[in-house]
Amino acid sequence: MTPANEAGTKLCISVSEKGVFVYGNKPAFKSLAKWMSWLAESDEADHFECHVVMSLEDDESKFEGKTPRNVWVLMDKKITDSFARRTDTDPGFELTFMAVENPDLEQLAKFQDAGVLPDETDEGQRDL
């Protein structure tokens, strides 16, 4: 079972050319800590994930369109066209944490010098 979020969670993910910044209140970081503990205790072979926006957003906001949302993403104007925007059918930009096995990390480490991810497959997944 996935972790329950703390009441009153509010979190903003800010994306710029300089990086990704996460701003949140205490309940948001307590919720995120529960998710990180859940990942840390999971079997790495399961490749469990925490999709921060999807996982921490209230059901009322996610499913009923309640605004203002309790979890949201803001982007620098210069990069907005580089990422998917949120729509009724697409969550848009997502920050995801995934527990993986060491061979998966070793495969990704091969791309450190290039600093570029490998191409996606036809299914939209990266070969790890």
91-119 per-position pLDDT tens digit = 789 999 999 999 999 988 999 999 988 77
pLDDT reading at 122 higher than 90: no
- Position 120 confidence tier, pLDDT thresholds 50, 70, 90: low
Would you state the pLDDT for residue 48?
Answer: 96
Please provide the distance, in angstroms rounded to a whole number, between the alpha carbons at the two ends of the chain.
26
Q: What is the pTM of this model?
A: 0.86
Task: Please classify residue 54 by burial: count the beta carbons closer than 10 Å to its beta carbon, then call 0-12 exposed, 13-18 middle and 19+ buried.
Answer: middle
Domain boundary assignment for the chain? 11-109
Residues of the chain with pLDDT > 70: what percent?
Answer: 93
Mean pLDDT, residues 82-99: 86
